[in-house]
């Protein structure tokens, strides 16, 4: 058991090492900073303390009320018949003290094949003072955003399940303020999540029995958003997440879950443009002004890489009009868009939980790199979780020292679907 735990912490340590810069110089093969941005990013903020204490590795985490956010299909394998959860996160406290995210979620297993759920997410951006170009105060406002989600899970067989969410989000950032003669408006989103799970409660690693889960989700498939009639419409944070977890059951008192996620934004990568002959010319990459489905597909092959420059700093053009790109940098940038999340969760007697995890995002794609720790306590039908985020980039990160708090309440009696003994008829 101790060798198993030690090896897991070695993996976590290696991810921390990989998160550090590997060289001091810049070469033609180095990737340029090229962060992918989206509208309504609050839809992709981890809302709960459990996965928030495990490096945001929640795609294949055992089911609870917050699975409505992570993976609805897992609700059919929940141990409890019904649960409600309330989470609160003070957000970006390194920058300000009045931004916060609140999240209410719950589910109910109707029978062995069907489960339903829902959630409400509210994000407050605090008080903001709007001024004109001369610095004169126009008014004070408290911008906010919210999201309502309905969830349904259907169990295909003893080990397989699928899920679908329907979402409505409303983002009011300006309160209808008129800027330079242009009327602004709230952003409105209609979106869906698709999820799939394979759940095997009779798995083994060597002689250690446990539960293995493979899961995949595509989140926030929805319309593009604009905040005025003249603004360009932006993609929302559509995500592909692939997760694996194994919960090792050492005895009736001790179990340890290991979760590992691969996460990627399904949003086009910004192309590289430059002015040639008075025109804004595409140097490398692809035009991101495409539809939602085209953008999702394009996100897998549109990284521009690193265009090659001559001694004068000009991009080198080929005879066919295209521009030279350093070999291998397009693939390297595509791989850099995959985020890694690794989390551990230890339970003693199903009463006390200790959690930790790491999250890694490439320094050219946002540079979110952090370590998480958390604890959980459960007594009868009541549970509480707390998590802490420590940035691996130092105190300058706006995410540093983020705390999350979650309360969970079990409603009704425990079901049997989570044990794996009951099979769908």
For the domain 2-18+39-269+337-419, what is the CATH superfamily, name and number?
monomeric porin ompg (2.40.160.40)
Largest CA distance in the chain: 73
Closest CA to 51 of 389, 335, 394: 389
DSSP element (H, E) containing 52 = helix 49-52
Q: How do the pLDDT tens digits run along the chain, 425 residues long?
A: 434 333 433 334 333 333 333 333 345 568 889 999 999 999 999 999 999 999 999 999 999 999 999 999 999 999 999 999 999 999 998 888 899 999 999 999 999 999 999 999 999 998 888 777 777 787 888 899 999 999 999 999 999 999 999 999 999 988 877 776 778 889 999 999 999 999 999 999 988 999 999 999 999 999 999 988 877 899 999 999 999 999 999 999 999 999 999 999 999 999 999 887 667 889 999 999 999 999 999 999 999 999 999 898 889 989 888 899 999 999 999 999 999 999 999 999 999 999 999 999 999 999 999 999 999 999 989 999 999 999 998 777 888 999 999 999 998 765 544 444 444 43
Which residue spans within 36-176 are E strands per DSSP? 82-90, 100-109, 114-124, 128-131, 137-141, 144-155, 160-172
What Å distances lie between residue 330 and 282, 318, 337, CA to CA? 15, 17, 11
Q: Output the pTM of the full model.
A: 0.88
Burial class (CB in 10 A: 0-12, 13-18, 19+), 318: exposed
**CA nearest to 369, candidates 360, 377, 381, 378:** 360
Q: Where are the alpha helices (DSSP H) in 192-351?
A: 292-298, 329-336
Residue located via tokens 């990568």: 269
Backbone angles phi, psi at 213, to 5 degrees: -130, 130
* CA 405/CA 241 separation, integer angstroms: 24
Residues in the chain: 425
- From the list 414, 406, 358, 307, the residue with the least C-alpha distance to 30 is 307
Alpha carbon dihedral 394, 400, 401, 404, in 10-degree steps, equals -150
Q: What residues does each domain of the chain span? A: 2-18+39-269+337-419, 273-334
Residue 180: the pLDDT is 67
388 near 402, Cβ under 8 Å?
A: yes
Q: In the structure encoding, which two tokens stand for residue 125, read together? A: 């951006």
Q: Which pLDDT value is given to residue 17?
A: 34
SS3 275: strand
């Amino acid at each position: 058991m101790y060798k198993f735990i030690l090896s897991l912490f070695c993996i976590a340590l290696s991810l921390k090492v990989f998160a550090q810069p590997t060289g001091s110089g810049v070469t033609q093969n180095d990737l340029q900073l090229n962060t992918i941005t989206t509208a309504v990013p609050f839809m992709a903020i981890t809302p709960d303390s459990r996965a928030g204490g495990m490096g945001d590795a929640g795609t294949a985490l055992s089911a609870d009320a917050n699975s409505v956010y992570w993976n609805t299909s897992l609700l059919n394998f929940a141990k409890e018949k019904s649960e409600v959860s309330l989470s609160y996160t003070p957000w970006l406290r390194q920058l300000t003290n009045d931004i916060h995210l609140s999240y209410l979620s719950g589910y109910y297993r109707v029978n062995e094949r069907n489960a339903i759920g829902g959630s409400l997410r509210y994000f407050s951006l605090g008080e903001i003072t709007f001024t004109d170009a001369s610095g004169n105060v126009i008014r004070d406002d408290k911008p906010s955003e919210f999201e309502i989600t309905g969830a349904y899970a259907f169990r295909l067989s003893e080990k397989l399940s699928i899920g679908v969410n329907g979402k409505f989000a409303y983002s009011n950032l300006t309160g209808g303020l008129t800027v330079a003669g242009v009327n602004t408006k709230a952003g409105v989103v209609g979106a869906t999540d698709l999820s799939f799970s394979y759940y095997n409660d009779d798995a083994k690693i060597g002689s250690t029995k446990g539960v293995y889960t493979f899961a995949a989700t595509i989140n926030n498939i929805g319309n593009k958003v604009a905040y005025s009639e003249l603004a360009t419409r932006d993609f929302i944070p559509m995500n592909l997440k692939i997760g694996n977890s194994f919960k090792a059951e050492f005895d009736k008192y001790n179990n340890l879950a290991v979760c590992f996620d691969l996460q990627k934004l399904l949003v086009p990568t910004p192309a590289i443009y430059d002015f040639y002959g008075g025109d804004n010319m595409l140097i490398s990459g692809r035009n991101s002004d495409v539809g939602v489905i085209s953008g999702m597909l394009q996100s897998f092959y549109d990284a521009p890489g690193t265009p090659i420059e001559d001694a004068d700093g000009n991009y080198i053009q080929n005879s066919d009009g295209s521009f030279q790109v350093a070999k291998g940098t397009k693939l390297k940038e595509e791989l850099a868009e995959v985020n890694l999340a690794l989390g551990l969760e230890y339970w003693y007697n199903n009463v006390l939980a200790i959690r930790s995890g790491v999250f890694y995002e490439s320094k050219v794609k946002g540079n979110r790199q952090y370590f998480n720790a958390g604890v959980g306590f459960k007594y009868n039908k009541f549970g509480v979780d707390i998590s802490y985020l420590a940035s691996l980039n130092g105190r300058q990160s706006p995410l540093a020292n983020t705390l999350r708090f979650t309360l969970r309440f079990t409603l009704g009696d425990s079901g049997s679907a989570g044990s794996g003994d009951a099979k769908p008829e």
